[in-house]
Amino acid sequence: MKITFFDTKDYDRAAFTKYDGRDGLEFKFYETKLCEDTVELAKNSDVVCVFVNDDLNSAVIEKLHAFGIKLIALRCAGYNNVDLAAAYGKIHVARVPAYSPYAVAEHAMALLLCSVRRIHKAYNRTKDFNFSLNGLTGFDLYGKTVGVIGTGKIGKAFIDICKGFGMNILAYDKYPAPMDHVRYTELDELFRESDIISLHCPLTSETAHMIDQESIARMKKGVIIINTSRGALINSEDLLNGIKERKIGAACLDVYEEESDLFFEDFSGHIVNDDTLARLITMPNVIVTSHQAFLTEEALSNIAEVTVKNILDYFGSNVLENEVCYHCGLLENCKKKRKERCF
């Protein structure tokens, strides 16, 4: 079973190498991202293993199918970068739904704490032996209202952390899962009442640009927005305008709408042409990390373990527990619900 990995870094190789050569698996790693220009590298493979910024559009899917690729193994939870409709009936798609919800939830809280207690500013000052406290006044999280959009495993983990800080918690999810000390509400009330808003939902046609000029206008003045989910949940230009108008008090971003050509790479010696990102980074109340929230030893180990299991399950004729397709959740007679493969 030949598996070709795209968009790999040293930490990916370290996590997966121990499985190479076991159970008939043969790995080949490429640093380049999978797209129409690089799809030829997948020839003579049985599986492609991809990450969040690989582009599996319909043209790429057709090429992979022509090469005889049997499985797209996502080493991530999100799958908005895969044309599932084009893949259906041709190539199975499996993901890692919950590699470490704690990693992402803890990073979201780390960003929030860094922002509200001005830790990033204090760190830079003390490097220059500037020990002044002027301009570093923060505020308590205790008693503040946090609005959590998306209460899957990561959202729930973030909520548990917020409970520990004594925060009041509002939540919104298309499929609510009642929890103690959490009040589900509609988005309009969540926007209106929250001091802090944290995004933990998938990117779909319904959620794309859910944070935009209109929703920002409904928020409290000084609201803090955290996004560790998908960049396109936020209209970046509208976010920037909200910051400039002093409506948004701070933004903590681990993802960015146009991150695919930037994140995970070193551009420190280059001029970055993305004016919106450049302006966001210059804002004193914006913290940007480059899709780092998942990056813990535990998460990398879990990602590798589940990805390999997905591959072995496929070739072992087992049920693909983590398979996704464009029918998922839409059909009453969904095969996955009957413990069958999607096609």
Distance, in Å, from the CA atom of 254 to the CA atom of 135, rounded to the nearest integer, reads 24
């397709």: which residue's tokens? 325
The one catalytic residue in 291, 298, 323, 340 is 291
The one catalytic residue in 75, 118, 259, 323 is 259
291 a catalytic residue? yes
321 in Cβ contact with 285 (< 8 Å): no
Distance, in Å, from the CA atom of 274 to the CA atom of 231, rounded to the nearest integer, reads 14
Distance, in Å, from the CA atom of 98 to the CA atom of 302, rounded to the nearest integer, reads 8
319 in Cβ contact with 336 (< 8 Å): no
For residue 225, the Cα-to-chain-centroid distance in whole angstroms is 15
Angle at 339 between CA 76 and CA 94, to 5 degrees: 20
Strand residues in 167-213 grouped as ranges (E): 168-172, 182-184, 196-199
Q: How far is CA 20 from CA 95, 312, 320, in A?
A: 19, 13, 21
Q: What is the DSSP string of 74-108?
A: ESSS--TTB-HHHHTTTSEEE--S-S-HHHHHHHH
Distance, in Å, from the CA atom of 314 to the CA atom of 311, rounded to the nearest integer, reads 5
The one catalytic residue in 75, 92, 95, 230 is 230
Distance, in Å, from the CA atom of 166 to the CA atom of 159, rounded to the nearest integer, reads 11
DSSP bridge pairs for 196: 146, 224
Phi and psi at residue 231, in whole multiples of 5°?
Answer: -60, -40
For residue 325, the Cα-to-chain-centroid distance in whole angstroms is 19
Active site residues per annotation: 230, 259, 291
